[in-house]
Amino acid sequence: LALPADAPTDQFDALLTVPGGSKAMLQEEIRKQFGLVPSREMREGDVLVVKVKTPDAPGLKVSDQKHASPGGGGRGGSRGGSRMVGSRAQSSGGEFSSQHQSIAILLLNLQNHFDLPLYDETGLTGKYDVSLRWPVPAGGTAAREAVQAAILEQLGLELTPGRAQIEMLVLHKEQ
Protein backbone atom coordinates (compact mmCIF):
# COMPACT_ATOMS: atom_id res chain seq x y z
CA LEU A 1 0.00 0.00 0.00
CA ALA A 2 1.46 3.35 -1.00
CA LEU A 3 -0.09 6.52 0.42
CA PRO A 4 0.31 10.14 -0.70
CA ALA A 5 3.23 11.97 0.95
CA ASP A 6 0.94 14.16 3.08
CA ALA A 7 -1.30 11.30 4.28
CA PRO A 8 -1.70 10.76 8.04
CA THR A 9 0.88 8.38 9.49
CA ASP A 10 -1.65 6.68 11.77
CA GLN A 11 -2.29 2.99 11.33
CA PHE A 12 -5.51 1.89 9.65
CA ASP A 13 -7.59 -1.24 9.93
CA ALA A 14 -10.12 -2.29 7.32
CA LEU A 15 -13.04 -4.58 8.01
CA LEU A 16 -15.36 -5.74 5.22
CA THR A 17 -18.54 -7.26 6.57
CA VAL A 18 -20.46 -7.42 3.30
CA PRO A 19 -21.14 -10.97 2.13
CA GLY A 20 -19.05 -11.45 -0.98
CA GLY A 21 -17.10 -8.26 -0.22
CA SER A 22 -14.38 -7.54 -2.74
CA LYS A 23 -11.26 -5.48 -3.31
CA ALA A 24 -13.33 -3.21 -5.57
CA MET A 25 -15.72 -2.53 -2.69
CA LEU A 26 -12.81 -1.67 -0.38
CA GLN A 27 -11.34 0.66 -3.00
CA GLU A 28 -14.69 2.44 -3.44
CA GLU A 29 -15.05 2.88 0.32
CA ILE A 30 -11.54 4.36 0.54
CA ARG A 31 -12.51 6.81 -2.19
CA LYS A 32 -15.76 7.80 -0.43
CA GLN A 33 -14.37 8.13 3.10
CA PHE A 34 -10.91 9.58 2.45
CA GLY A 35 -11.07 11.11 -1.04
CA LEU A 36 -8.28 8.80 -2.19
CA VAL A 37 -8.41 6.98 -5.50
CA PRO A 38 -6.77 3.56 -5.47
CA SER A 39 -4.94 2.03 -8.41
CA ARG A 40 -2.87 -1.12 -8.72
CA GLU A 41 0.71 -0.54 -9.84
CA MET A 42 3.89 -2.54 -10.11
CA ARG A 43 6.55 -0.92 -7.92
CA GLU A 44 9.84 -1.96 -6.42
CA GLY A 45 9.50 -2.77 -2.75
CA ASP A 46 11.06 -4.61 0.16
CA VAL A 47 10.30 -8.35 0.19
CA LEU A 48 11.45 -11.61 1.72
CA VAL A 49 12.86 -13.60 -1.19
CA VAL A 50 12.04 -17.31 -0.91
CA LYS A 51 14.59 -19.71 -2.43
CA VAL A 52 15.25 -23.42 -2.13
CA LYS A 53 18.24 -24.00 0.13
CA THR A 54 17.74 -27.70 0.92
CA PRO A 55 16.08 -29.77 -1.83
CA ASP A 56 14.12 -32.81 -0.60
CA ALA A 57 13.47 -31.31 2.85
CA PRO A 58 11.29 -33.62 4.97
CA GLY A 59 8.34 -31.22 5.42
CA LEU A 60 7.87 -30.42 1.71
CA LYS A 61 6.75 -33.44 -0.30
CA VAL A 62 5.51 -33.66 -3.87
CA SER A 63 1.80 -34.40 -3.62
CA ASP A 64 0.56 -37.67 -5.03
CA GLN A 65 -3.08 -36.47 -5.12
CA LYS A 66 -4.62 -36.19 -8.56
CA HIS A 67 -7.22 -33.56 -7.62
CA ALA A 68 -7.69 -30.89 -4.98
CA SER A 69 -9.51 -32.19 -1.95
CA PRO A 70 -12.27 -30.18 -0.30
CA GLY A 71 -11.55 -28.80 3.10
CA GLY A 72 -11.61 -25.83 5.38
CA GLY A 73 -9.06 -23.50 6.84
CA GLY A 74 -8.32 -23.34 10.50
CA ARG A 75 -7.63 -20.56 12.95
CA GLY A 76 -4.38 -19.91 14.71
CA GLY A 77 -0.85 -18.84 14.02
CA SER A 78 0.89 -15.91 15.64
CA ARG A 79 -0.97 -13.25 13.65
CA GLY A 80 -4.36 -14.81 12.97
CA GLY A 81 -5.75 -17.73 11.03
CA SER A 82 -4.50 -19.16 7.79
CA ARG A 83 -6.50 -18.60 4.66
CA MET A 84 -7.98 -21.46 2.71
CA VAL A 85 -7.02 -20.98 -0.92
CA GLY A 86 -7.32 -23.96 -3.23
CA SER A 87 -6.80 -27.40 -1.73
CA ARG A 88 -6.70 -28.13 2.00
CA ALA A 89 -4.79 -26.07 4.58
CA GLN A 90 -4.91 -25.91 8.37
CA SER A 91 -3.06 -23.81 10.90
CA SER A 92 -3.27 -23.70 14.66
CA GLY A 93 -0.79 -22.35 17.15
CA GLY A 94 2.64 -23.47 16.04
CA GLU A 95 1.52 -25.87 13.30
CA PHE A 96 0.65 -25.59 9.64
CA SER A 97 -0.22 -28.34 7.19
CA SER A 98 -1.54 -28.37 3.67
CA GLN A 99 -2.16 -30.88 0.95
CA HIS A 100 -1.87 -30.55 -2.81
CA GLN A 101 -0.90 -26.87 -2.95
CA SER A 102 1.40 -24.93 -5.23
CA ILE A 103 4.29 -23.00 -3.72
CA ALA A 104 2.46 -19.75 -4.58
CA ILE A 105 -0.57 -20.82 -2.50
CA LEU A 106 1.68 -22.11 0.29
CA LEU A 107 3.34 -18.69 0.50
CA LEU A 108 -0.07 -16.96 0.55
CA ASN A 109 -1.05 -19.16 3.50
CA LEU A 110 2.18 -18.39 5.38
CA GLN A 111 2.19 -14.66 4.50
CA ASN A 112 0.28 -13.61 7.62
CA HIS A 113 3.32 -14.49 9.76
CA PHE A 114 5.53 -11.84 8.09
CA ASP A 115 5.55 -8.05 7.75
CA LEU A 116 7.05 -8.12 4.25
CA PRO A 117 5.61 -9.85 1.16
CA LEU A 118 6.99 -13.31 0.42
CA TYR A 119 8.50 -13.28 -3.10
CA ASP A 120 8.78 -16.69 -4.77
CA GLU A 121 12.12 -17.43 -6.44
CA THR A 122 12.03 -21.16 -5.71
CA GLY A 123 11.41 -22.26 -9.28
CA LEU A 124 9.30 -25.10 -7.85
CA THR A 125 6.28 -26.19 -9.85
CA GLY A 126 3.62 -28.74 -9.15
CA LYS A 127 1.65 -29.41 -5.98
CA TYR A 128 3.09 -30.17 -2.56
CA ASP A 129 2.02 -31.62 0.79
CA VAL A 130 3.44 -29.61 3.68
CA SER A 131 3.86 -30.29 7.37
CA LEU A 132 5.38 -27.51 9.47
CA ARG A 133 5.78 -27.02 13.25
CA TRP A 134 7.43 -24.26 15.24
CA PRO A 135 7.67 -23.18 18.88
CA VAL A 136 5.12 -20.50 19.79
CA PRO A 137 6.90 -17.51 21.33
CA ALA A 138 5.01 -14.52 22.78
CA GLY A 139 4.81 -12.74 19.42
CA GLY A 140 6.48 -10.02 17.40
CA THR A 141 10.00 -10.60 16.09
CA ALA A 142 10.46 -13.85 18.03
CA ALA A 143 7.32 -15.34 16.45
CA ARG A 144 8.42 -14.38 12.92
CA GLU A 145 11.89 -15.79 13.54
CA ALA A 146 10.43 -19.07 14.83
CA VAL A 147 8.28 -19.52 11.70
CA GLN A 148 11.16 -18.50 9.44
CA ALA A 149 13.52 -20.99 11.11
CA ALA A 150 10.93 -23.77 10.77
CA ILE A 151 10.44 -22.98 7.08
CA LEU A 152 14.19 -23.29 6.53
CA GLU A 153 14.76 -26.41 8.66
CA GLN A 154 11.64 -28.36 7.70
CA LEU A 155 10.75 -27.13 4.21
CA GLY A 156 14.27 -26.27 3.04
CA LEU A 157 13.12 -22.80 1.97
CA GLU A 158 15.28 -19.80 2.85
CA LEU A 159 13.79 -16.32 3.32
CA THR A 160 16.19 -13.42 2.82
CA PRO A 161 15.51 -9.68 2.65
CA GLY A 162 15.54 -8.26 -0.85
CA ARG A 163 13.79 -5.94 -3.28
CA ALA A 164 11.51 -6.87 -6.16
CA GLN A 165 8.79 -5.55 -8.43
CA ILE A 166 5.51 -6.24 -6.64
CA GLU A 167 1.92 -5.20 -7.16
CA MET A 168 0.87 -2.46 -4.74
CA LEU A 169 -2.35 -0.64 -4.07
CA VAL A 170 -1.40 3.03 -4.57
CA LEU A 171 -3.69 5.75 -3.22
CA HIS A 172 -3.84 9.14 -4.99
CA LYS A 173 -5.74 12.25 -3.97
CA GLU A 174 -8.98 12.63 -5.87
CA GLN A 175 -8.75 15.43 -8.47
Nearest Cα neighbor of 171 from 15, 43, 17, 19 is 43
Residues 105-120 have pLDDT tens digits of 999 999 988 999 999 9
Q: What pLDDT sits at residue 69?
A: 45
pLDDT at 78: 35
Query: For residue 16, what are the CA distances in angstroms to 26, 28, 78, 114?
Result: 7, 12, 22, 22
